Amino acid sequence: MGPLATVDFMHKLLAATPATRDQDHLPLLVSSIPQVPDRTAAYRGEGASPLPALIASGRRLVDGGASLIVMPCNTAHLWFEPLQEALGVPMLHLVDAALGEARRTLGDAPLGLLATEATVTSGLYTARAPQIAWRLPTGRELAQWVTPGIAAVKAGDLASGRRLLAAAADSLKSRGAQGLVLGCTEIPIVLDGNAARMPVIDATAALARCTVAWVTGRRRPFG
Residue of the chain from 103, 154, 163, 173 that contacts its own copies (CB under 8 A)? 154
Q: x-or-dash pattern for its own copies, window 7-26, by CB under 8 A?
A: x--xx--xx---xxxxxxxx
**Cβ proximity to its own copies, 76 vs 132, nearer residue:** 76
Q: Give the whole-angstrom CA distance, residue 148 versus residue 72.
A: 20
Question: Is the dihedral angle over the CA atoms 120, 124, 129, 130 positive or is it negative?
Answer: positive
Q: Which stretch binds its own copies (CB under 8 A): 33-41, 88-96, 103-111, 136-144?
A: 33-41
- For residue 65, is it left (φ>0), alpha (ψ between -120 and 50) or beta? left
Q: Determine the longest span between alpha carbons in the chain, in angstroms.
A: 49
d(CA 84, CA 93): 10
User: How buried is residue 156: exposed, middle or buried, by Cβ count under 10 Å (0-12/13-18/19+)?
Assistant: exposed
Q: Could you give the CA distance from residue 116 to residue 51 in angstroms, rounded to a whole number?
A: 18
Q: Is 210 a catalytic residue?
A: no
Range in contact with its own copies (rule: CB under 8 A) among 105-113, 149-157, 172-180, 191-199 = 149-157
Shortest distance, position 92 Cβ to its own copies, whole Å: 18
41 sits in which H/E element: helix 39-43
Instruction: Please report whether residue 159 would count as binding its own copies according to CB under 8 A.
Output: no
Shortest Å, Cβ 110 to its own copies: 32
Annotated catalytic residue, options 73, 168, 201, 208: 73
Is residue 131 at the binding interface for its own copies, with CB under 8 A as the rule?
Answer: no
- From residue 128, give the alpha-carbon distance in Å to each of 47, 97, 109, 132, 216: 26, 11, 15, 10, 26
Q: Which CB, 100 or 188, lies closer to its own copies?
A: 188
60 binds its own copies (CB under 8 A): yes
Of the candidates 16, 34, 140, 146, which one interacts with its own copies according to CB under 8 A? 34
| Active-site pick, 184, 191, 196, 208 | 184
CB 215 → its own copies: shortest distance, Å? 13
Question: What is the rounded distance in angstroms from the CA atom of residue 72 to the CA atom of residue 83?
Answer: 14
DSSP code of 199? -
Is residue 156 part of the contact set for its own copies (CB under 8 A)?
yes
Question: Least distance from C-beta 25 to its own copies, angstroms?
Answer: 4
Tell whether residue 65 is a contact of its own copies (CB under 8 A).
yes
d(CA 56, CA 103): 34
Contacts with its own copies, residue ranges (CB under 8 A): 1-4, 6-7, 10-11, 14-15, 19-35, 38, 60, 63-65, 151, 154-156
Give catalytic residues, as residue numbers: 73, 184
